[in-house]
Amino acid sequence: MDRDENMSKAMQAESMWHEEIESKGLRQTLADRLRFHGGLDVKTAVESTGACITTIQRHFRAMSENGIGFFDTPEGDHLKPA
């Protein structure tokens, strides 16, 4: 796979995240992706959504407090589904 194909796939994936956020909202999209992928880290969520790191961390904390997921790293940068 060449560089252009990789860039095209990355742009498609990012577009899918944004479409999902537009229709469901950020928190629900993060919860859905968390379940689908079996885990989600802050860096991926920030890069995929375009949201700032503090916003993603706030949503991750809320999902953890609401029993949707739990942190599996001491740094609190990776969430697993509950």
pLDDT per residue as tens digits for the range 42-73? 999 999 999 999 999 999 999 999 999 999 99
Share of the chain above pLDDT 70, in %: 83
Beta bridge partners of 80: 70
CATH topology of domain 3-81: Arc Repressor Mutant, subunit A (1.10.10)
Q: Model-level pTM? A: 0.81
Q: Alpha-carbon distance 71 to 35, whole Å?
A: 14
Beta bridge partners of 81: 69
Q: Where are the domains of the chain?
A: 3-81
pLDDT classification of 76: cutoffs 50, 70, 90: confident
Beta bridge partners of 41: 78
